Amino acid sequence: MTFTRGARITGAVLCAVLALITAGWIVRDLRVTGGPAELWEYWAGYMDARAKGVPATSQGSGVLLVVYVLAAVAALRSSIAASVLIATGVATLAVRLPGVWITGSSWMNGSYADELRTRAMLGTFVALAAALALVVTGAAGRRPADDGGAARHVRPGRGAGVLAFLALGATGVFYLAWEVRQAFVLPGYLYPAWYTGGEQIRVVLTDAPPGWNSVAVALLCLVAAFSAVVRAVHSRPLGMIAAGFVLTSGVLGVARTVHHDLLDRFADLGTEYQLNLLTLFFSVLAGAVTLVALGRGGVEEVPGTGGQGYGPGGWSQGWGPAAGQGYGQGPGQGPGPGYGYPSVPGQAPGYGPPPGGPHSSAPGAPPAAPPGGAPGYGPPPPSSPPPGW
């Protein structure tokens, strides 16, 4: 199968539209927060973040921007980039769908100006329409190759597929296990808001609620893991996108842990806090391993062999600087921040700004979490309820 020239151009244009929308919000946040360092601190969920204003993006926006740019390049330079566009569209739909109801929710009143919320709502609908169009374009733009010299699909090698299966499969299971834990520890009135957003669990304007993010990335990981072990063509782009979210979440979570000196007090933390920190470090390892395994090349599909072809793939067969035949080196991530930061012993984790406003905190209390909580794609924080619950 090959990808028609018209479909490739259409896919590249759609990716460019998505990239421009995402880049516009990130540039806006750079101005509002004061610079890259302040935005990084907010994305990472530092308790003492110095952001001057409330950002509208999270770590996931950074990952998606990289994905869109690389997908556009792949669509222009590869005649078999259909799986790249489909994976990009599916990932966008998974993490952007909650924006349909979040941007217009009453509990967002006061957090952002009405004009900004209107722009976010329009951007959400455009992004979802473009994502759906990517899926349709990738599915409908494929045609049988008309000669033996056409580019061939590149599947992950047997060893790379098994390695990606183990890394992404374990990550997906860990993320879902944290969500099962939330069902037992969150109060009944708060649990739905963990997945849909609400007054008690705030999210930034263009992000999804923490529970939704965690489940969406977990499902992407599990689907990509099983696709990799059977060496499906789409396993490379889908697996690398999932790994991008996982790696970024882990990196920012580890940065937050180091910033607050939690490793020095690791032995004094509770078991749940310790498991949370270990999950963050595992996310870094799993994301990096998956990107290396799926990005270093694969095996070309030879017609008539059922995908068990010969010939190594390489960087030029993916998202690299040379013309490609599949997916190559992907983006290297969320959140943004994870679902929050493990608190110091004796301090409960927060799920949003304190009642007095996004910048207020109780007298004598440690600095509050960044406004809007710390949305992200990593594991949720240990869930001992804050005072007053």
**Chain length of the chain:** 389
* Distance of alpha carbon 2 from alpha carbon 301, whole angstroms: 12
C-alpha closest to that of 155 among 323, 348, 275, 326: 326
- Give pLDDT tens digits for 255-272: 999 999 999 999 999 899
* Distance of alpha carbon 153 from alpha carbon 220, whole angstroms: 21
Of residues 110 and 379, more confidently modeled: 110
C-alpha closest to that of 123 among 217, 28, 264, 228: 28
- Give pLDDT tens digits for 96-122: 999 999 998 888 888 888 999 999 999
* Distance of alpha carbon 335 from alpha carbon 317, whole angstroms: 29
C-alpha closest to that of 351 among 322, 389, 318: 389
- Give pLDDT tens digits for 129-153: 999 999 999 988 776 655 544 456 6
* Helix-, strand-, coil-residue percentages of the chain, each rounded to 5: 55, 5, 40
Rg (CA), the chain: 21
Q: Can you say whether the dihedral through the CA atoms of 17, 18, 20, 25 is positive or negative?
A: positive
pLDDT classification of 202: cutoffs 50, 70, 90: confident
pLDDT greater than 70 at residue 213: yes
pLDDT greater than 90 at residue 314: no
Name the strand (E) or helix (H) holding 229.
helix 210-229
Note the pLDDT of residue 388: 38
- Give pLDDT tens digits for 46-100: 988 887 888 999 999 999 999 999 999 999 987 778 899 999 999 999 999 999 9
pLDDT classification of 18: cutoffs 50, 70, 90: very high
Of residues 114 and 339, more confidently modeled: 114
Q: Can you say whether the dihedral through the CA atoms of 231, 235, 239, 240 is positive or negative?
A: positive
Note the pLDDT of residue 323: 36
* Distance of alpha carbon 97 from alpha carbon 140, whole angstroms: 23
- Give pLDDT tens digits for 281-293: 999 999 999 999 9
Kindly state the DSSP code that residue 232 receives in the 8-state scheme: -
